[in-house]
Amino acid sequence: GAVVSQHPSRVICKSGTSVKIECRSLDFQATTMFWYRQFPKQSLMLMATSNEGSKATYEQGVEKDKFLINHASLTLSTLTVTSAHPEDSSFYICSAQRGRGGEQYFGPGTRLTVT
């Protein structure tokens, strides 16, 4: 199988605080992991591509200082939403790619609510 976990599944935080979301590939090594954001009834919006041991590549319009990504190992990537605001409330999903250019396996998502 190809299992990807995310933690936490849900988080509520106050405006101005930071939140860290973890993404782990449980049974395979992922050179590349991806972070997506999804609004209700909309498709996935790629935020950034994370390669193990190097800096993440951010999509246009995504603030790299606000959404900090760390890919410290072949099985773990983290997304930290810094100084969160209510407009950051969304469903954040990570995926891990097995092999170069291969299919992506998605985590279950994290529902972030900023109050």
Bridge partner list, 58: 48
Nearest to 76 by CA among 36, 31, 18: 31
Q: Is 113 in the site for another protein (CB under 8 A)?
A: no
Contact 5, 77 (CB under 8 A): no
Q: Give the SS3 label for residue 86.
A: helix
Scanning 14-22, 60-68, 82-90, 98-106 for contacts with another protein by CB under 8 A, the matching segment is 98-106
Q: Is 11 in the site for another protein (CB under 8 A)?
A: no
Size of the site for another protein (CB under 8 A): 23
Minimal distance in Å, beta carbon 13 to another protein?
19
Nearest to 32 by CA among 64, 77, 62, 66: 77
Residues that bind another protein in the complex, under the rule CB under 8 A: 2, 4, 6, 34, 41-44, 46, 49, 91, 93, 95, 101-109, 111
